Structure 1
Amino acid sequence: MADAAPRLKSLVEQLLGDPLPVRIRAWDGSEAGPPGAPVLVVRNRRALRRLLWKPGELGLVRAWVAGDLGIDGDLYSTLGLLAGLIWERGDDARTLVQAVRDPDVRAAVRGLARMAGPFPPPPPPPEEVRKARRHLHTRRSDKQAISHHYDVGNDFYELVLGPSMVYSCAYWSSPDGTLEDAQRDKLELVCRKLDLKPGQRLLDVGCGWGSMALHAAREHGVSVVGVTLSQEQATYARKRVAEEGLADRVEIRVQDYRDVGDGPYDAISSIGMAEHVGAQRYLQYACDLYRLLKPGGRLLNHQIARRPQRDETTYNVDTFIDAYVFPDGELAPVGTTVTQLERAGFEVRDVESLREHYALTLRRWVAGLEAEWARAQQLTSPGRARVWRLYMAASALAFERNRIGVNQVLAVRTPGPGASGMPLRARTWN
């Protein structure tokens, strides 16, 4: 009999203590669950073994990346329905221990183990990062982490990001606008906040494929040094600089921000880079940027933030993002970021949340990926393409549900006691 899906649904609901909001389609063709709901496709028994060996988010992601799990229906709707079971349950250690002691839970686990078949743990998909965690955020480990994420191939990033080649939150005037216009408006917003003037020097930390450096040099007449740890990004950016005839004003370096020694600069932009710095290194990062700025110079720090925890000592890095997307990446609450910048000597003058803007941006990236799905798999691998689709869609929902945010923090190195160097009405960029 084709009855795997009803059995699986019953056991999972017994395990979770909640009804499943999605349908299940099992490897034998059977289905069970709410009629008309999105369908979670369990393609083989190996998916169950992954979940039993790594319960929770990481097991689910391994099954998704390996192709053992799929979704038949709208990805966002399905993830939204599953969010309450995966990311928003709020289980603490005590609750989990109590659950394991529950005889119904133990019975459900035994039932799932019988359905899973032979029980050696399947190896993780090759896209997963395995690493020792003793020496986070050394120059070597940061370079390896950046290479894992950014050296996927420039053709792949062109497919996802579009012509703007900007891999950070866009700035939308309307949800119906184009991604290219929204990214151009974001770069212009940063330049206006920094009050760039012809002849000034700008340091773009984590310059990516050179979009900010090119925009600032072309539209505002500044000289720019862009630094990145990705060789592929630097090669691409240098080619763009040459093609636009801006080699006399834009220099792209493969260099760690900690090794920049040719300051002072009039302004510094750090757009989507500080998430890679790490909590233990963040104050030093802020001090390094402070050292590189002239008195009166401005810093624009554009950074994703997480919601604060009641007990910050219990915060753990997101296992999916850390294992598959941004190795060693860390998010902090915006208040922590502001505090660290001020500890380094900066005066924070403006904080602007762009949370909804990033949700719109991610949905456009997902649409671009899905429109070129076959080519995306050819450019990387089927597993890596599935990683990106899941990570961007889940991140869009996280921004929409206020689980994470993104903020532009404008800070200044004050030129003297009591002086900020800022005009009385500083928000001239509005």
Structure 2
Amino acid sequence: MGRGTVADRLATVLGTVLGSTQLPVRLRGWDGSVAGPAGAPVLAVRNRRALRRLLWSPGQLGLGRAYVAGDIDVEDDVFDTFAALSSVGRLSETGQMRPVTAAERVALLRTVAGLGGLGTDPAPPAEEADLGRHGLRHSRRRDAAAIAHHYDVGNDFYELVLGPSMVYSCAVWDTPEVGLDAAQEAKLDLVCRKLGLTEGSRLLDVGCGWGSMAIHAAGRYGATVVGITISEEQATLARKRVAEAGLTDKVEIRVQDYREIDDGPFDAISSIGMAEHVGRARLGTYVDQLAGLLRPGGRLLNHAIAWNAGEASWSEDSFIARYVFPDGELLGLGEMVGAIEAGGLEVVDVEALRRHYALTLRAWVRLLEEHWDDAVAASTEGRARVWRLYMAACALAFEGGAMGVDQVLAVKPGGEQPPLRRTDWV
């Protein structure tokens, strides 16, 4: 890779971090020098602080911190750039990286020293989570702090990223051309049909977000809905949207932990994009609680991301754990189905939506980039960079099969039987 210009030596640094002698991107140094294959996506290194971040955290976390802080930047298509970076060496599409060896650390130190990049470890960007002071992992207090870190970043920011539907989970696409809002409406309608909602059905929506599922179930199917979230900002906007829809007599939005609900039974429970926050150690509690809130014959729809990459989940030092979903844990589909069955529910249908989530994430990235200046004004530039990086990287992970997302429909024994086939909801 050479040791001449700044860019040549930056190529050596990146090659050491990635564990590859083949540079997958073109590098632009802070002095304007360029190195790397012609035509490859360009990664710009703005300053020497980026080197210190990589020296102290030589992996995904160091790269992520440098990007969020603006020490490195993507000059070309974000998907092409991240796909190139994940195509070589120790960095995979799942975001997991093998640690650098002792010899690689010594080589990295020498190259960084030659570039004048030695120094103390820079403070992480303000957008990095620090939950240690909030108690034990997956305690109610710490779960509330984790949710606030991700969701209480400004409703205006989320409106720009998610669009009018305000649904923050995988859409269901008939074709890629239907558009995000239509695909999200199709997802909400699919959930309602799977749950068998009719006029007067009592629905519990766990992790209700900004109220879209509750509004759809009440407005289109006549259900009476209790929606719960532990995000104060979500609840505020959800109540406003419910009122604007004229559904305050049918929808109640609560700031409440799922472990605190005691006013069952419900005819149906939807949990869409919430189980990822529960944690493996609490999974049994989660299923037992929801099962106990269902009437006999009642249905549970659990919609959750699944880990397909042969790993337990992302590591605590990964970018997504530090910046996006602190304390979040992904489970395999088999583990989720097993837990639901162990909780006394009968699994009657499983639908995999992996490709649908890739389309959804790409749509969110487009909205973020189209409204970049407004998104930065609504939050921070660092926050916008976090969302851009994580959504693009996750889209690639779904496309590559490292992650999936599944809807598991289960029934509590003792009541009416579900349909013989899927004809009620296909």
Q: What is the aligned partner in structure 2 of residue 429 from structure 1?
A: 425
Q: What is the aligned partner in structure 1 of residue 102 from structure 2?
A: 100
State the secondary structure of the residue aligned to 1:176: helix
Q: What is the aligned partner in structure 1 of residue 280 from structure 2?
A: 279
Q: Any conservation in 2 of the 1:57–1:86 contact (CA below 8 Å)?
A: no
Matches within 5 A, 1:20-419: 20-84=23-87, 85=89, 87-88=91-92, 96=99, 99-101=101-103, 106-132=106-132, 135-307=136-308, 309=310, 312=312, 316-317=315-316, 319-415=318-414
How far is the alpha carbon of 1:109 from its aligned partner? 3.3
1:83-139 deviations in Å (ceiling 9; x for gaps): 13453299999x757x4247xx63343222332434111110010012328611111
Distance in 1 (alpha carbons) for counterparts of 2:245 and 2:382: 36
Q: What is the aligned partner in structure 1 of residue 5 from structure 2?
A: 3
Structure 2: 5+ residue stretches without partners: none
Q: Any conservation in 2 of the 1:317–1:330 contact (CA below 8 Å)?
A: no
Q: Sort the Cα spacing of 1:17 and 1:242 in 2 relative to 1 into closer, same or farther, 3 A.
A: closer
1:156-213 deviations in Å (ceiling 9; x for gaps): 1111111100000000011011111100000000000001111110000000000000
Q: Any conservation in 2 of the 1:12–1:108 contact (CA below 8 Å)?
A: no
How far is the alpha carbon of 1:427 from its aligned partner? 4.0
Matched letter for residue 419 of structure 2: P
Q: Which moved more, 1:210-219 or 1:133-142?
A: 133-142
Distance in 1 (alpha carbons) for counterparts of 2:293 and 2:307: 28
Distance in 2 (alpha carbons) for counterparts of 1:109 and 1:28: 21
Distance in 2 (alpha carbons) for counterparts of 1:254 and 1:315: 28
Matched letter for residue 11 of structure 2: K
How far is the alpha carbon of 1:244 from its aligned partner? 1.4
Distance in 2 (alpha carbons) for counterparts of 1:73 and 1:273: 33
Matched letter for residue 123 of structure 1: A
Matched letter for residue 132 of structure 1: G
State the secondary structure of the residue aligned to 2:175: coil
Q: Could you tell me the percent identity over the aligned residues?
A: 57
State the secondary structure of the residue aligned to 1:332: coil
Distance in 2 (alpha carbons) for counterparts of 1:320 and 1:12: 17
Q: Any conservation in 2 of the 1:305–1:332 contact (CA below 8 Å)?
A: yes
State the secondary structure of the residue aligned to 1:251: strand
Q: Sort the Cα spacing of 1:17 and 1:359 in 2 relative to 1 into closer, same or farther, 3 A.
A: closer
Q: Sort the Cα spacing of 1:319 and 1:11 in 2 relative to 1 into closer, same or farther, 3 A.
A: closer
Distance in 2 (alpha carbons) for counterparts of 1:89 and 1:259: 37
Q: Any conservation in 1 of the 2:147–2:230 contact (CA below 8 Å)?
A: yes
Distance in 2 (alpha carbons) for counterparts of 1:295 and 1:100: 59
How far is the alpha carbon of 1:2 from its aligned partner? 8.3
Q: Any conservation in 1 of the 2:351–2:408 contact (CA below 8 Å)?
A: yes
Q: Any conservation in 2 of the 1:2–1:28 contact (CA below 8 Å)?
A: no
Q: Any conservation in 1 of the 2:96–2:315 contact (CA below 8 Å)?
A: no
Q: Any conservation in 1 of the 2:158–2:166 contact (CA below 8 Å)?
A: yes
Distance in 1 (alpha carbons) for counterparts of 2:421 and 2:223: 24
Q: Any conservation in 2 of the 1:161–1:368 contact (CA below 8 Å)?
A: yes
1:191-247 deviations in Å (ceiling 9; x for gaps): 000011111100000000000000000111110000000111111111111111111
Q: Sort the Cα spacing of 1:86 and 1:140 in 2 relative to 1 into closer, same or farther, 3 A.
A: same
Q: Sort the Cα spacing of 1:266 and 1:70 in 2 relative to 1 into closer, same or farther, 3 A.
A: same
State the secondary structure of the residue aligned to 1:136: coil
How far is the alpha carbon of 1:7 from its aligned partner? 2.0
Q: Any conservation in 2 of the 1:46–1:116 contact (CA below 8 Å)?
A: no
Distance in 1 (alpha carbons) for counterparts of 2:68 and 2:141: 27
Q: What is the aligned partner in structure 2 of residue 13 from structure 1?
A: 15
Distance in 2 (alpha carbons) for counterparts of 1:184 and 1:274: 21
Distance in 1 (alpha carbons) for counterparts of 2:15 and 2:256: 51
How far is the alpha carbon of 1:326 from its aligned partner? 1.0
1:281-318 deviations in Å (ceiling 9; x for gaps): 011000000000000000000000111527x5x97346
Distance in 2 (alpha carbons) for counterparts of 1:90 and 1:261: 38
Distance in 2 (alpha carbons) for counterparts of 1:256 and 1:194: 22
Q: Any conservation in 2 of the 1:46–1:122 contact (CA below 8 Å)?
A: yes
State the secondary structure of the residue aligned to 2:130: coil
Q: Any conservation in 2 of the 1:65–1:387 contact (CA below 8 Å)?
A: yes
Q: Any conservation in 2 of the 1:227–1:254 contact (CA below 8 Å)?
A: yes
Distance in 2 (alpha carbons) for counterparts of 1:232 and 1:12: 40
How far is the alpha carbon of 1:13 from its aligned partner? 3.2
Q: Sort the Cα spacing of 1:397 and 1:151 in 2 relative to 1 into closer, same or farther, 3 A.
A: same
Q: Sort the Cα spacing of 1:14 and 1:410 in 2 relative to 1 into closer, same or farther, 3 A.
A: closer
1:344-402 deviations in Å (ceiling 9; x for gaps): 11111111000000000011111001001111111101111100111111111111011
